[in-house]
Amino acid sequence: MATKARTRAKQVDAQGGDPAGTLRDYYEQMSLVRAFELRSGEMYARAKIGGYCHLNLGEEATVVGLMAAIEARDYLFTGYRDHGYALLRGLSPERVMAELFGKTTGVSGGRGGSMHLFDAETRLFGGYGIVGGQIPPATGAALALKYQESAGPDAAAVMCLLGDGTTNIGAFHESLNLAGLWKLPIVYVIVNNGLGMGTTVEKASAEPELYKRAASYRMPGLRVDGDDVLAVRDAARDALQQARESRQPVLLEVMCYRLRGHSVVDPARYRSPEDTTIAQQSDPVPSFRAELIASGVLSEADATAIDEAADARVTEAVTFAEESPEPDPDDLFAYVYATAVANAPSALPGEPVMDAL
């Protein structure tokens, strides 16, 4: 993996390779996601964040590569490991951290928390807590796009992120079948970190090379190194181009590791010492940092300054979240229904039910 990164980094400003500024920008994004997730874990341990909390630690190259490929006009659906995607989709660290804190200034007004980040303006449509819950709505969005727009390079597409464990549920197969049958403009991205919660892919899937499942629905399937930010970006761009111009759904499997347990409360005792060592050695953030320094894109001082700036930005986000107002209990039932309905719930916990009618 390191050799791939070094080879790509040496293409800076040579024969159409990536400019140094682009590579630096990718590292800045990876550093921000890393700093945000480390601080999120800390805030959870300090009881500032409640509920469930799943981190992108170890998946930063995958996150940055995918978000570098998607266009502003595209629609993004994610699972519950969604912090980094929200940040790189354009949501400020302050708003995302405030949402984790359950504050009114959060992305979803404090109602969604870690797993339910949503922002219609940036076309980030979740954040889904139910495994696979995002796949049918994402497929429906692609169907709507097909009705609304003609195929072409300027058309919108849908990117739907899911974990490896999601490939074994019915909604995955039903949705891919419809996408293949109806030729929908959607790219399904399997972020394969090797573990569906605590079960390895090999012990859960009769066909552990998950991209091969695309063949059942006559769509392209490919696998890419998730620790190589440029490889992920290029593969996702190609897939999105097929979705836009040919109305061709694509199944993209991105291979990476997560450095922590399934959630912040998971000690990951199911991982062997050997597997943990491999995950740590594959960590894309220090690897990409070292490759950019070795190729002259960054100096050691540059990289340190980037990391410090990311830490400072996240500190500002934590301060913003801590100082933001808590939700008003009187707003507990706001947005339960999109429009007013008769006999809607209004009783707060502890209040007699009849008094609220």
Domain positions in the chain: 2-356
Q: What is the mean pLDDT of residues 13-22?
A: 70
Could you tell me the two tokens for 345? Answer: 């719930």
d(CA 123, CA 336): 22
Confidence of residue 354 (pLDDT cuts 50, 70, 90): low
User: Residue 48 burial (CB < 10 Å; 0-12/13-18/19+)?
Assistant: middle
Tens of pLDDT, residues 129-170: 999 999 999 999 999 999 998 889 999 999 999 999 999 999
pLDDT at 27 over 80: yes
Lowest average pLDDT, out of 70-74, 90-94, 194-198, 293-297, goes to: 194-198
Query: Which homologous superfamily is 2-356 in?
Result: Thiamin diphosphate (ThDP)-binding fold, Pyr/PP domains (3.40.50.970)
Confidence of residue 15 (pLDDT cuts 50, 70, 90): very low
d(CA 31, CA 303): 9
